[in-house]
Structure 1
Amino acid sequence: MRTDIRPGRSRPGRGRERAAWTLALLTTLCAQLTFSAVAVPFIWLLLPLLLVMYGAGVLLVREAVARAGGGWTSLVVLGLAYQVAEDGLGLQALTSPHMYGAADWGLRALGINWTYWESQIGVHVVLSVLLPVAITNLLFPRLRDQSYLRTGGFIVTGALAVAGVLGLRVVISATEDPGNQTPWGWTVAYLLMIALLAWPALRVLPRRRSPDRVRSDRRAPRPVVVGIVAGYLTMAFLTTLLPLGLGQDLLFGDMMSPPLRLFAGAMTAIPFGWLVLRWRRSGDWADRHRLWLIGGILVSHTAFMMPASATSAVIGLITICLEVVLLSVLGRHIRRPQPRRKIVGSAPPRPLNGS
């Protein structure tokens, strides 16, 4: 009687559960706790609530894309729908004239804070969706294209994601801007946007998905260069649209008009995305490059909040040090060769096809 456990086939359910919990936690850490908690440390006390509000939503996005057979493009498009659900239906910050002072940061027209909306598209698609998924892929490489959850777990995650949106509305929106209600017209528009984004993300793009065309003659920059460029462009995007440290004054003050800020923000984000796509198709693009890309974005995202106060500067510096240490540990983990487990028994294992 054999008692061995073959590598890669041991307790698959448990490995998928760990991956799901890891993604939910990373979403909360990357999007919220390495940013908002720098200026407002007590947010750590809300970790269980944030896991429902943000973790379940992004886990649902990732699961839906994996089940549909989609790739990174589908994640981006469905991430846009997630951002509308969170900031539009949940926080109601897109239409609020008072919450976070967002109406004073840039262009407000037709009842919408357009500059705030553009900033949150960048933040949530990248920091809430793409980076946590990328880190989870590095931690669980064998599950990159597979679903983490069974059907029941997927349904529960969807229910928690809806509860999270309602929680944002009841807990945070009602606290930050009491009495504010999104106009019904915009509520309907948000729901239509979510549906119109979900359709191509889950039905159209997966059918057109093709393997990355890697060019062996193309070389990516050194990993450290990738990190520096990622950090610079992240800071450029944030400071163009948001006050540094979410204070009172925008960078360059009145030198840039609100419409110009929208254009400048887009002209930072779009070339950044194109650059990453170009790097990914290079013949020598590897996990080290991915780590430096992730690190550059995360560190810059945290550093943006440090000028808020002296306390924020100290907490931000500690947070950045932790980010660097943890990413270094992850780097050593992914470079470590996987040991082969010994087979215990009198007969060698038979091939899966039974031949």
Structure 2
Amino acid sequence: MRRFLPVLVLVLMAPTVAELLWGSTPLSGVTLLLLQIPMYGCGALLIRELVRHRQRGWISILLLGGAYALIEEGLALQFLFHPTLLNISDWGGRVLGINGVYTVWAIGYHAIWSVALPILLTDLLFPEQRDVPYLGRTGLIITGIGFLFGVVLIGFIARVGIAPGYWASPLLLGGTVLVVLLLAWIALRVLPPAAPVATSVVQAPPGWVVALLGLVCGFLWQAILILFRAFFPALTQGPLVLVPLLVALGMAALVCWLLRIWTRASGWSDLDWLALGSGALIAHTIFGILFLTFTPLDKIGLAILGGVMVLLLSLFAVSLRRRARGTLLQRVRGPQEE
């Protein structure tokens, strides 16, 4: 049971983070998570296992997270291409049948909140197994089948209930498949295996700075790409649509640059990873409370759920601090006992 507990946690955490903690699946419709578990849960688990079996790192996880976004939003839901559904095309940048701004948002959203954050939190919860696969070949095959079933299920629901009768063109669907395969090939074949990184002389920033980075940038990713159109409608048409896109992508590049430096800095630890993830999760839920929930009951429910999340993250931080102290004491006692 201990071996499969991380599997269960990751499979349940992925849809919880991506849907429930964001409010896109409100508490009043929490039973919908049962339909989302195969795609979200098996998708995140499959990505983690492929990366661990191939001994790759976080860049591979993010690339496969982008591939996951294309599968969900492009092949199953087909929101990336729909010309009228939910006013997605009004976000701007619709070119060659592709909703450009929505596509950029979806790739970033799913790569971080649907895939990377659930994997990060699960690895922090089970540190002894963070660098090794949870599953063997049979488990991988079962997970892949579960993911495929989830994609087909969500696609069927979309064709029947969300966008009845809509199908994107074979050219768009085929192009999406090719991009997914390209991202998977780069993530698992082209990128080199992960290797230990030498610690630099740079000192890691305080944890609150790391958490603030996750909070601010996590909220801005949503706000810039989703809300700009409400306040600046001119930025949804013509060349001006590049403004929110470049701002959001520039911010993402800045975060990647900072993390590349900070994660190699002296003193960077699991507490810092948790701070980063906590900031992004809190931003995620705040955005949902403000803009994605509509009834008072759903807003209050998500606020309560967010409060529980913050409490659990705080308790987890205390546990990680104790774990770090215990590890340090063992290292100190080792040479003394010798």
TM-score (norm 1): 0.85
Establish whether residue 104 from structure 1 lines up as the match of residue 87 from structure 2.
no
- CA drift of 1:230 comes to 1.6
Is 1:254 paired with 2:234? yes
Structure 2 CA distance, aligned partners of 1:253 and 1:219? 43
Partner of residue 147, structure 2 = 161
Long gaps (5+) in structure 2? 327-338
SS in 2 for 1:95: coil
Who is 1:94 aligned against?
A: 80
Paired residue for 1:276, among 259, 272, 277? 259
1:36 aligns with 2:16: no
Q: 1:231: which partner in 2?
A: 215
Tell me if the contact between 2:14 and 2:40 (Cα under 8 Å) persists in the aligned partners.
yes
Deviations 1:142-176 (A, max 9, x none): 11111111222111100011111111211135322
Residues of 2 paired with 1:310 and 1:86: CA distance?
27
Question: Which deviates more from structure 2 when the two are superposed, residues 111-120 or residues 316-325?
Answer: 316-325
Q: Which runs of 5+ in 1 are unaligned?
A: 1-13, 340-355
Deviations 1:227-257 (A, max 9, x none): 122211111111110138xxxx534443673
Alignment match, 2:7:
20
Distance in structure 2 (CA, Å) of the matches to 1:252 and 1:320: 30
Out of 200, 216, 226, the residue aligned to residue 242 of structure 1 is 226
Q: Distance in 1 between matches of 2:150 and 2:34?
A: 11
Equivalent runs, 1:79-228 vs 2, <5 Å: 79-207=65-193, 209-215=194-200, 217-228=201-212
Deviations 1:5-59, CA, capped at 9 Å, x for gaps: xxxxxxxxx3231111111111111111111347x33331112211112101111
C-alpha change, 1:132 and 1:48, in structure 2 (3 Å) is same
> Does the residue aligned with 1:166 lie in a helix, a strand or coil?
helix
Letter aligned with residue 45 of structure 2: L
Moved more, 266-275 or 292-301: 266-275
Partners of 2:243 and 2:182 lie apart in 1 by 28
**SS in structure 1 at match of 2:268:** coil
Between 1:308-317 and 1:52-61, the stretch displaced more is: 308-317
- For residues 48 and 223 of structure 2, the distance between their equivalents in structure 1, rounded to whole angstroms, comes to 29
Contact 2:219/2:283 (CA < 8 Å) preserved in 1?
yes
- The residue aligned with 2:49 is 63
Amino acid at match of 1:105: W
Q: 1:101 to 1:213 in 2, by over 3 A?
A: farther
Q: In 1, distance between residues paired with 2:183 and 2:290? A: 36
Q: What is the distance in 1 between the residues matched to 2:97 and 2:235?
A: 24
Distance between the aligned counterparts of 1:206 and 1:143, measured in 2?
21
Paired residue for 1:342? none
Q: How many residues align?
A: 320
Q: How far did 1:310 drift?
A: 5.7
1:100 and 1:148 map into 2 onto residues whose CA distance is 39
Helix, strand or coil at the partner of 2:4: helix
Identify the residue that residue 291 of structure 1 maps to in structure 2.
Answer: 274
**How far, CA to CA, are the matches of 1:296 and 1:36 in structure 2?**
17
Alpha-carbon spacing, 1:254–1:27, altered in 2? closer, same or farther (3 Å):
same
Q: Who wins on radius of gyration, i.e. which is larger? A: 1
The 5-angstrom pairing of residues 338-353 of structure 1 reads none
Sequence identity, in percent? 33
1-structure distance, mates of 2:53, 2:282: 32
- Structure having the higher helix fraction is 2
TM-score when normalising by structure 2: 0.89
State the secondary structure of the residue aligned to 2:2.
helix
Instruction: Tell which deviates more after alignment, 61-70 or 95-104.
Output: 95-104
CA contact (8 A) 2:64 2:184 kept: yes
Q: Deviations over 1:192-228 (max 9, x none)?
A: 1111111121112144x3222321x211221112112
Distance 1:27 1:89 in 2: 19
